[in-house]
Amino acid sequence: MTGEDTGAAAAPHAASGPPGPGPAVRTVEGDLPGTELGVCDAHDHLFLRSPRLPGQELADVDAAERQLRAFAEHGGRSLVQWTPHGMGRHSGALADLARRTGVRLVAATGLHQAQHHTGELPSDPAALFVQELTRGMRGGVCGEAPRAGLIKVAGDFHGLGRHARWTMAAAAEAHRATGAPIAVHLESGTGAAEVLDHLCGRQGVPPSGVLLGHVGRCPDPRMQRAAAASGAWLVFDGPSRTHHATDWRLFDSLAELFEHGYGDRLLMGGDTVTATARAETGVPYVARALRPRVADELGAAAARQIFEVNPQRALAVHWKG
């Protein structure tokens, strides 16, 4: 790999273990009770680099700090960065940003689709994931190596290819070793059933440990209900120019899932992946616009469920290391 994700991890993270015997969210500042997350953007990016997005890199630390401060001004208290290993996640800057802004940050290990990576992929991804979840992410600076708090992997369009199955098997192994949640990029919102069959049916990961990203990009109500019924978490993220064709279905999907009793399986985030998206909406949009609209459309209790209660249940686990 290239950039900040190369080389061995820095010194092990010095923070204490989970606060008591209960589950904890692993943030870049240490393990915290889920109740400390507050209003959570459950899927976003402060930093990201991909050969598929030339000229759209998110690499400016000062810009990331401005995004977090604006997010906090609108009531945002925590953010989950799904940028995995090898995609410019700036692991060395995350803890300092969390301290400076007061926003809790959860970082990711894992691997995306092969097309988003340059250089050689790790020969033992499960070992890498475990190391970054328990000892510290590669790319730490000044001896500080914050730990990742979830594993990010990706499916393919309407299925799972060889690379997806390889990375998901590694994610499942790392989950068994650590308890970490697994966040899954669904390509164009498709393939949820295949992902759940592979991760849960074949690899033994409990559905409650799986976060399915981009489900709103394929507004199929039967698929969404089936995924929610499995016990997995459904992450609705956006909006964006790329996926605007399905943005208008968002609140119909949320309302329909609440009506069928699945409001306790829903999460929301902004998924800011490009410089253009940051300029147009960016991280603050989740707290500034999406959360108030959920409250207006579905009620204050639904907004609290999606942005506060569900994230603490989805991200807090009994860590094994």
State both tokens at 207: 């559905």
Dump pLDDT digits (tens) for 309-319.
999 999 999 99
Residue type at 259 in one-letter notation = E
Query: 116 versus 26: which is more confidently predicted?
Result: 26
Exposure string of 40-79, with b = 16+ CB inside 10 Å and e = fewer, is bbbbbbbbbbbeebeeeebeebebbbbbbbbbbebebbbb
Q: Over range 166-177, report the average pLDDT.
A: 98
Q: Over range 135-145, report the average pLDDT.
A: 73
Indicate the angle between helix axes 221-229 and 250-259, nearest 10 degrees. 50
Q: How far apart are CA 118 and CA 26, in angstroms?
A: 28
Q: Is the pTM of this model over 0.85?
A: yes
- pLDDT interval class at 13 (50, 70, 90): very low
DSSP H helical ranges for the chain: 61-73, 91-101, 125-134, 162-178, 192-196, 221-229, 244-247, 250-259, 275-280, 284-285, 291-298, 300-304, 310-315
Query: 152 versus 240: which is more confidently predicted?
Result: 152
Is the pLDDT assigned to residue 5 strictly greater than 60?
A: no
Dump pLDDT digits (tens) for 118-135.
878 899 999 999 999 999
Is the pLDDT assigned to residue 1 strictly greater than 90?
A: no
Judge contact between 145 and 9, C-beta under 8 A: yes
